[in-house]
């Protein structure tokens, strides 16, 4: 018996069917805005220059302009912070403590979102420095949070919110480097291949040699929106703090902030950063800032990347069959 190769008309018809099946439909696309903001929510009087008991409720309605909001230092005034927000998806406020002190003020990290998210997880830093001095970082269970957001049906984005150890003492620098490396290891283990947003108060500067943000960018394949859009992709050199341009151009390339937004594409989600800004509306009636940090915002375009159709496998099999020579069977 002889196996016959498909005739050319059969192959042509199969190819047309495969092409029709493989032809992608309209790609799903859209955009979303994000904000990261250290809201200085320690109890009134902790910092004599801040007035969270008055200002936090003023911050609340301003958050509605953004699709995704992550905050840090949301400690003592969470009800005021969320009192006027319209985001349907919100993380549960944390009131845990860090052993052995167990002051139950939580990690200060909260997420507000217009897209649903799941698997919200809080991770406490293994390293910290300072109890009553040098930032008092060890009094709170500071760390990072992560959740998986469904940006559009079937397309997911892992969102990390962080608040790293503060201060410039050698022990602060060592703890902060350990924080960044701890989060990087978690990303590599739990978000491999996924689209990713990492944003928050890094307390880090590229100009500071002991800070290790370049390790995070390289190790996780991340892009800094400020570096990309305001500096043409060029990281600041190690040296003096880059703050000379902050007064004249708060979002410019000569104004590095410790509050940062990083991203990457992944899975079936392609991300493009389209803007970076310091929203000017977060001030009181006299124009004074509502927190000791300025909020940092960005917008992203997204596109759902079509996955290869099973028809590709069918077409490949037909082509392979069509090129196989007949052989004699006995």
pLDDT (tens digit, 9 = 90+) per residue, 41-68? 999 888 878 899 999 999 999 999 999 9
| 37 close to 293: Cβ distance less than 8 angstroms | yes
- Domains of the chain: residue spans and CATH: 1-25+309-330 (no CATH), 29-304 (3.60.10.10)
| 260 close to 296: Cβ distance less than 8 angstroms | yes
Q: Report whether the peptide linkage leading into residue 100 is cis, meaning its omega lies within 30 degrees of zero.
A: yes
- 252-272 as b/e: b if 16+ CB within 10 A: bbebbbbbbbbbbbbbbbbbe
3-state secondary structure of 135: helix
Average pLDDT, the chain: 88
| 18 close to 312: Cβ distance less than 8 angstroms | yes
pLDDT digits (tens, 9 = 90+) for 246-272: 999 999 999 999 999 999 999 999 999
- 95-113 as b/e: b if 16+ CB within 10 A: eebbeeeeeebbbbbbbbb
Mean local confidence (pLDDT), 100-113: 94
The predicted structure's pLDDT at residue 1: 38
Q: Interhelix angle for 170-190 vs 213-220, to 10°?
A: 10
| 188 close to 219: Cβ distance less than 8 angstroms | yes
pLDDT digits (tens, 9 = 90+) for 284-309: 999 999 999 999 999 999 999 986 55
β-strands 155-163, 195-201 pairing: parallel
- Count of residues making up the chain: 330
């Amino acid at each position: 018996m002889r196996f016959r190769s498909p005739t050319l008309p059969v192959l042509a018809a199969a190819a047309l069917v495969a092409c029709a099946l493989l032809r992608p439909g309209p790609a799903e696309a859209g955009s979303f805005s994000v904000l990261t903001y250290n809201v200085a929510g320690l109890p009134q009087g902790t910092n004599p220059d801040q007035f969270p008991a008055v200002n936090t409720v003023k911050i609340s309605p301003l958050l509605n302009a953004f699709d995704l909001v992550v905050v840090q230092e949301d400690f003592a005034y969470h009800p005021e912070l969320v009192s006027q927000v319209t985001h349907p998806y919100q993380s549960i406020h944390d009131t845990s403590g860090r052993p052995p002190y167990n002051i139950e003020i939580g990690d200060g990290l909260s997420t507000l979102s217009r897209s649903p998210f799941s698997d919200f997880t809080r991770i406490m830093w293994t390293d910290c420095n300072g109890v009553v001095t040098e930032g008092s970082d060890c009094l709170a269970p500071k760390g990072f949070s992560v959740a998986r957001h469904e940006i559009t049906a079937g397309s997911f984005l892992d969102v990390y919110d962080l608040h790293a150890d503060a201060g410039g003492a050698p022990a602060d620098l060592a703890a902060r480097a350990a924080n960044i490396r701890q989060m990087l290891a978690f990303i590599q283990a739990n978000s491999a291949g996924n689209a990713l947003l990492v944003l928050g108060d890094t307390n880090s500067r590229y100009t500071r040699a002991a800070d290790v943000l370049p390790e995070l960018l390289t190790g996780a394949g991340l892009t800094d929106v400020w570096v990309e859009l305001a500096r043409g992709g060029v990281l600041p050199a190690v040296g003096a703090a880059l703050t000379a341009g902050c007064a004249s151009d708060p979002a410019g390339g000569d104004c590095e902030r410790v509050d940062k937004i990083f991203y990457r594409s992944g899975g079936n989600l392609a991300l493009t950063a389209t803007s970076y800004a310091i929203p000017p509306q977060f001030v009181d009636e006299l124009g004074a800032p509502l927190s000791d940090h300025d909020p940092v915002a960005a917008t992203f375009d997204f596109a759902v990347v079509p996955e290869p159709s099973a028809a590709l496998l069918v077409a490949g099999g037909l082509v392979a069959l069509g090129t196989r020579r007949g052989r004699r069977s006995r």
